[in-house]
Chain A
Amino acid sequence: MAYDKFDILTSTAVPLPIENVDTDQIIPARFLKATERVGFGDNLFRDWRYNQDNTLKEDFVLNQDKFSGKILVGGKNFGSGSSREHAAWAVYDYGFRCVVSSFFADIFRGNCLNIGVLPVQVSAAFLQKIFDAVDADPSTELEINLQEQKITLLPTGESESFDINDYKKNNMLNGFDDIDYLLNIKKDIETFAENTPL
């Protein structure tokens, strides 16, 4: 489906300084039973947010009022594990539009790009700067400028550039999705299919 355009995002951030955050933490398998893309945000980080009796785990970052915003900042190797796009849906549905980490798992990164959540990969040093800044002052704002491929810590102006291929960048800037592109070359695909050996 087509999604919101992404241009410049200025927001506070929610820090999750843990490495290897896997998709089973982002959304546990037992919450994958929906047949429509609704309500996944309620179960984002379900078992880190709630005790087994459904009371809140007060110390988890999403349950702390001082942290909020549209940017989720995670430790290295964010989104490892399963291919469930539900993980990206949960991140989006909760209200995040951007995930920042020093390293992303492949499938999660691709899923984010396909639904309009921007994965921003920064250096380990810059990631630490963000964690430190947000920890010291949760009202710290970050600016993500997709056109310029730049992430900036607004209070200090420190910034870093990030990679994204031109095709995906253009998709995100305009809210385009891949299926429209593929449908436009359907004739080429049909010709190709006729000549495949298998």
Chain B
Amino acid sequence: MSATKTLFDKVWDSHVVHKIQDGPDVLFIDRHMVHEVTSPVAFLGIKNRNIPVMHPEKTFATADHNTPTINQHLPVADPLSANQLRMLEENANEYGISYWGLGHAKNGIVHVVGPEYGITQPGATIVCGDSHTSTHGAFGAIAFGIGTSEVEMVLATQCIMQPKPKRMRININGKMSKGVTPKDVALFIISQLTTSGATGYFVEYAGEIFREMSMEGRMTVCNLSIEMGARGGMIAPDEKTFEYVKGREFTPKGADWDKAMAYWETLYTDEDAIFDKELTFDGSLIEPMITYGTNPGMGMGISNDIPMADAVQGGATTYQKSLKYMDFNEGDSMMGKPIDFVFLGSCTNGRIEDFRAFASIVKGRKKADNVTAWLVPGSHKVESAIKEEGILDILTESGFELREPGCSACLAMNDDKVPAGKLAVSTSNRNFEGRQGPGSRTLLASPLVAAAAAVTGKVTDPRELMVELV
């Protein structure tokens, strides 16, 4: 066996407790993030078995999926949501798990607060009952979403059983062009691979475009790994990563930091390491992207026309069903289509950098009258930064309001639902039928594209509104 290893192999192999012949690996989990929706049945499971949480200190609970994004100081009105939130709090208290509930200063979307407080660390294995757990791969961690049965396994034994995924590397060189953001890079990759193109693989993103990205940008890219079917995606940690992680509440300090660094500095893919699949794209060709269909793979450069059914992979029936739902036609241009809602937020694009980008476009302009805009920070920390950096003033001046943190209209479990038939430009991660509310229609895009739509009231190329750099 070759001594050379990929980044993924290094982290995975060092966490295997036990290998089962013709079966999964028993994988040790360093960090378990828990939220209110996918955990109650798991807690019920260990309660029925009368077993404790094995490592409450490696388990972190926050409320995000169900929470309202206005008036968070009031009791949650929806009785079912309120019940789920109460259950999480009770379970966390009973088992000694730290709980950042509604109203807590550290509350926010699980995949936003994990990195913010240093729970997310390079070389760790991180799971959560949420598919966008892949976000944490931005730090060189193996992070992926799990089902509730697996949440129960991790609570009970700090392990899950997973067959080891295959290895894929996606190389993108070149620089991001004007108006292109990490979200566009991710939507571009998914449009090339389709939503099942990376199923069975764990992806490593490599190349100049990712090296040059901020940690926030890397999180956006890794977040969307699941949308191409991959279990997760990761980027080798570098100085930027260590700089981001250093000094946060849960990161190692003093001698422990030096010990951790000694491990983290080994986390890269060896030169001769072999991937099961390797893809390379030219980053300079990526444009601002927008989706036109009902899965994240149905995306294209914003100035393109919707492809004809015979030009796309997959069955024509499924494709036409999708366009019918969207009320679009093959060959339509997306530009100029009137929109009704704009959503800025989610674990994909709810970080400070996303609000900076949004503000850069709306500054000095006004929100279009036909647009309802929901601007939802990913956490209280993001919310504070928005205020401190003066972004809130820009937003307010332009006629926008800032809401309180949570998953919000990304999956519309709370009241932030796009009404049936209405068209939303959304910085979230899924444009599935009804994802943002029954009958809602979603166009996935970057914060820049969302901002351009918010001030013009229609699908607009953000490059037209960007100040020329001198």
Chain A residues whose CB sits within 8 angstroms of the CB of B295 once the complex forms:
20, 22, 80
Check B191 for interface membership: any CB of A closer than 8 A.
no
User: What are the interface flags for A156-191 relative to B under an 8 Å C-beta threshold, 1 for contact and 0 otherwise?
Assistant: 000000000111100000000111011101101100
A85–chain B nearest beta-carbon distance, Å: 4
Chain A interface size range: 35 or more
Tell yes or no: A196 within 8 A of B by CB.
Answer: yes
Give complex CA distance A178, B260 in Å.
32
Tell whether, in the assembled complex, residue A24 and residue B30 are in contact, meaning their CB atoms are under 8 Å apart.
no
5 CB contacts below 8 A, A to B, read: A22-B432, A33-B37, A111-B148, A182-B157, A198-B31
Nearest CB in chain A: distance from B48 CB, A: 8
Residues of B within 8 A of A66 (CB): none
Chain-B contact segment, one of A56-64, A102-110, A132-140? A102-110
Query: A167 with B413: in contact, given A25-B432, A28-B438, A35-B40 (CB under 8 Å)?
Result: no
Closest to B148 in A: A85
A180 to B438, CA, bound (A): 40
Taking Cβ atoms with an 8 Å cutoff, the residues of A that contact B are: 1, 17-20, 22, 24-25, 28-30, 32-37, 47, 52, 75-77, 80-86, 88, 103-107, 110-111, 114-115, 165-168, 177-179, 181-183, 185-186, 188-189, 192-193, 196-198
Q: Which residues of B lie under 8 Å from residue A52 when comparing CB positions?
A: 420, 438-439
Q: What is the CA–CA distance of A182 and B160 in the complex, to the nearest angstrom?
A: 8
Nearest-Cβ distance from residue B54 to partner chain A, whole angstroms? 8
Minimum CB–CB distance for B291 against chain A, Å: 13
Q: Which residue of B lies closest to A18 (CB)?
A: B318
A77 to B160, CA, bound (A): 24
The answer to whether B84 has its CB under 8 Å from any CB of chain A is yes
Q: How far is the CB of B350 from chain A (nearest CB, A)?
A: 17
Residues of A with C-beta under 8 A to B68: none
* B321 contact set on A, CB distance < 8 A: 18
A192 contacts B22, CB within 8 Å? no
Whether B38 pairs with A84 at a CB distance below 8 angstroms is yes
- Given known pairs A19-B315, A20-B318, A30-B413, the reply for A193 and B23 (CB within 8 Å) is no
Residues A179 and B157 in contact in the complex (CB < 8 Å), given A28-B434, A82-B130? yes
